[in-house]
Amino acid sequence: MASPTQGPQGQLYADPVPSPDETSFQQDNTSDAYYSSPYYEAHEYQVQAFPAAANTTPLNLTTFLPADIINAITAAGKIVFHAVGDTGAAKVSSRQPAAEAIANQGRVADAMTADVAVSDIAFFFHLGDVIYQFGEAQYYYDQFYEPYRNYDRPIFAIPGNHDGMVFGEGSAAPSVPSLSAFLTNFCAATAAPSPDAGGLMRTTMTQPGVYFSLDAPFVSIIGLYSNVLDGPGVISSQGGAYPISDEQLNFLQAQLLRLKMLKTTSPRAVVLALHHPPLSVDAKHGGSTGPLADIDTCCAAAGFWPDMVLSGHAHLYQRFTRTVAAAGGKQTPYIVSGSGGYAATAPQAGLPAAPVTVGDATLEVNPIVDFGYLTLTCDGATLTATFTSADASGVEVRDTVSVDLAHGTIGVAAVAKHHKSSRKLPPQHKLTRARRS
Footprint on this chain of Fe ion (rule: CB under 5 A): 129, 160-161, 313
**Shortest CB 129 distance to Fe ion, Å:** 4
User: In terms of CB distance, is 129 or 294 closer to Fe ion?
Assistant: 129
User: In terms of CB distance, is 281 or 410 closer to Fe ion?
Assistant: 281
CA geometry: angle 138, 142, 146, nearest 5 deg: 125
Between CA 54 and CA 60 the distance in angstroms is: 16
**Shortest CB 91 distance to Fe ion, Å:** 13
**Shortest CB 178 distance to Fe ion, Å:** 14
User: In terms of CB distance, is 291 or 380 closer to Fe ion?
Assistant: 291
Q: Is 341 left (phi over 0), alpha (psi -120 to 50) or beta?
A: left
Among 70, 56, 409, 403, smallest CA distance to 256 is for 56
Between CA 82 and CA 188 the distance in angstroms is: 22
Among 299, 290, 317, smallest CA distance to 371 is for 317
Using DSSP bridges, classify how beta strands 382-391 and 394-404 pair: parallel, antiparallel or unpaired.
antiparallel
Residue 186, phi then psi, degrees to nearest 5: -120, -15
Between CA 146 and CA 142 the distance in angstroms is: 6
User: In terms of CB distance, is 347 or 380 closer to Fe ion?
Assistant: 347
Between CA 53 and CA 211 the distance in angstroms is: 7
What is the number of the residue whose Cβ is closest to Fe ion? 313
**Shortest CB 223 distance to Fe ion, Å:** 15
**Shortest CB 154 distance to Fe ion, Å:** 22
**Shortest CB 92 distance to Fe ion, Å:** 18
Distance (Å) of CA 338 to CA 10, 137, 346, 373, 423: 31, 21, 12, 8, 26
User: In terms of CB distance, is 64 or 124 closer to Fe ion?
Assistant: 124
User: In terms of CB distance, is 162 or 258 closer to Fe ion?
Assistant: 162
